[in-house]
Amino acid sequence: MITYEPIIGLEIHAELMSKSKMFCGCKVVDSVTAPPNTAVCPVCLGMPGMLPVINRQAVEFSIKVAIALNCDVQHHNIFARKNYFYPDLAKAYQVTQYEQPIGLNGWVDIELGTGETKRIRIRRVHMEEDTGKLTHENGRSLVDYNRAGVPLLEIVSEPDIHSGEEARAYGIKIRRILRYLGVNSGDMEKGVLRVEPNISLRPMGSTTFGTRTELKNLNSFRALADGSAYEIMRQETILRAGGAVVQETRGWHDSKRITFSQRVKEEAEDYRYFDEPDLPPLFVDEEWITAVAQTLPELPDAKLARYQIEYDLSPYDAAVLADEIRVATWFETAVTVNSAITPKTIANWVINALFRLMNNAKLTIDEISITPEQLVELLGLIADQTINQNSGRKVLDEMFETGKTAVSIIESKGLTQISDEDALAAIVAQLLADNADSVAAYCGGNKKVRGFLIGQVMRATKGKANPRLVNDLLTKALA
Ligand SMILES: [Zn+2]
């Protein structure tokens, strides 16, 4: 039986968070919440006689992305018209880059579930403008041109992806990089980041491509993984039955978990591309590229490696903390506060305690009131044995809820750890006298009793005893 190899290439469209649109001065507004058709002008509506001007900030954002994706940044950039009619496109053409895009021949490494990485080549990164938005309701179609002309970056991978899960890992990686660069919020529900896989199958070992279908309107990475997996299965069923795959655009039905035919795909020649006559070629010189390169932050892969080497974090902890640039920044600020508190200790508290509180409250790191300095202050109080680990967790809960500092919570709750050796020794002695049976059992070889006795001391001190001291005292007393 023939084995089929799935071939997937991904097109990612990312709106750029520039202040104004790609070719006019209209503000870039939130396409979900802003009143419709309030951020429009003759240029982005394509009125006769209007003249577009290239947005410098959008170009710089594009150069940033091209560098971060290891592309060769191109000096000569040409904008072209892609002609087609659709109601969300007032101009009846989209200005895009066709033959001479801003970035070529890049790559990105993705993390596979096995812990290995795989390199996915990036064919091109090009600048264009977004279209308007159509809404269909009650038998009517409404059009909002606020989004028309918003700077859009298209990132096209080579067909190096072979499964839905790889497609997902690639999408997540690109999103993470864009968020690190601060050029896109990654908010897929709002449509500012859109992912479209091209999927085809071919007999394993073959070098020619099979007929591909393109999946549209995927609004999550889960939909990308599941939709691609479904499409692979659907095409394989057709091919095994001796049929032929039709080249078309397909949608993903999120609740039915199936893909469905939308329209038969146009070929590039249908768009009648030609150079945009209203825009001069854009020359990006080496000096400009160098200047932009210097503004790049540390990128996710570099951060991940540094966290493991410099901070001695496990690969898992490093990945969790480096996933979101804001979490990473918060963590790195905490690391600089007090050199006596190790990054590993801070990482443990952030991942195991703070994230749990954030998840329960459905808050992001930007929305919590605890500052990195306040967390480290708390960890300092644990380290110098003012309070024990156990009380520390309770104090953190309260800090999270009330915004109060660790010191004030410890004072008001009387949580200061009991490290007075004489006082604890007296408590231990009393306890052993009260629990003669348990002591006898311990001496008779039942070592489990020890845990019970420690628990009793902690109870007698309302959890405030210094656990190490209790342990030592108990060892002495039982001996
Ligand atoms: Zn405009």
Let me know whether 20 and 113 are in one domain. Answer: yes
Nearest residue to 108 via CA among 171, 50, 45: 171
How do residues 227-286 score in pLDDT, each as one tens digit?
999 999 999 999 999 999 999 999 999 889 999 998 876 666 688 999 999 999 999 999
253 CA from centroid of ligand 1 (Å): 34
Q: How many CB atoms lie within 10 A of CB 301?
A: 16
pLDDT in tens, 21-39: 999 999 999 988 999 999 9
CA distance 135 to 148: 14
d(Cα 299, Cα 183) in Å, to the nearest integer?
Answer: 13
Domain of 434: which CATH number?
A: 1.10.10.410
Beta-bridged to residue 142, according to DSSP, are 135
Residue 440 pLDDT exceeds 90? no
Residue 295 C-alpha to ligand 1 middle, in angstroms?
28
**Same structural domain, 88 and 141:** yes
Considering the domain architecture, whether residues 372 and 446 belong to the same structural domain is answered as no
Both 259 and 348 in a single domain?
Answer: no
Shared domain check, 248 and 100 = yes
Tell me the per-residue pLDDT of 317-356, one tens digit each, with 9 for 90 and over: 999 999 999 999 999 999 999 999 999 999 999 999 999 9
Last residue of a domain, one of 291, 312, 341: 291
Q: Dihedrals φ, ψ of 294, to 5°?
A: -70, -15
- Residues 200, 68 share a domain: yes
Ligand 1 center to residue 145 CA distance, Å? 9
pLDDT digits (tens, 9 = 90+) for 52-96: 999 999 999 999 999 999 999 999 999 999 999 999 999 999 999
Ligand 1 centroid from CA 47, angstroms: 10
CA of 260 to the centre of ligand 1 (A): 35
Quick one: 80 and 214 in the same domain? yes
List pLDDT tens digits, range 84-121.
999 999 999 999 999 999 999 999 999 888 878 999 99
Tell which residue, 411, 348, 412, 405, has the closest CA to residue 371: 405
Q: Are residues 180 and 267 in the same domain?
A: yes
Same domain for 428 and 407?
Answer: no
pLDDT digits (tens, 9 = 90+) for 141-197: 999 999 999 999 999 999 999 999 999 999 999 999 999 999 999 999 899 999 999
Q: How far is the CA of 86 from the centre of ligand 1 (A)?
A: 18
Closest CA to 144 of 44, 242, 258, 252: 44
Give the chain's domain count.
3
Last residue of a domain, one of 232, 267, 291: 291
Residues 346 and 435 in one domain: no
Burial (CB count <10 Å: 0-12, 13-18, 19+), residue 309: exposed
Same domain, residue pair 227 and 246: yes
Query: Does 146 share its domain with 176?
Result: yes
Numbers of helices and strands, H then E, in the chain? 16, 16
**What pTM does this model have?**
0.86
CA 185–ligand 1 middle distance (angstroms) = 22
Whole-angstrom CA distances from 467 to 185, 414, 457, 471 are 46, 17, 9, 6
* β-bridge partners, 259: 252
Find the Cα–Cα–Cα–Cα dihedral 119, 124, 125, 129, rounded to 10°: -140
Return the pLDDT at 265.
62
User: Distance (Å, rounded) from C-alpha 177 to C-alpha 280?
Assistant: 30
Question: What is the residue range of 442's domain?
Answer: 421-478
State the distance from the centre of ligand 1 to the C-alpha of 265, rounded, in angstroms.
30
Q: How far is the CA of 45 from the centre of ligand 1 (A)?
A: 7
Between the CA of 10 and the centroid of ligand 1 the distance, in Å, is 30
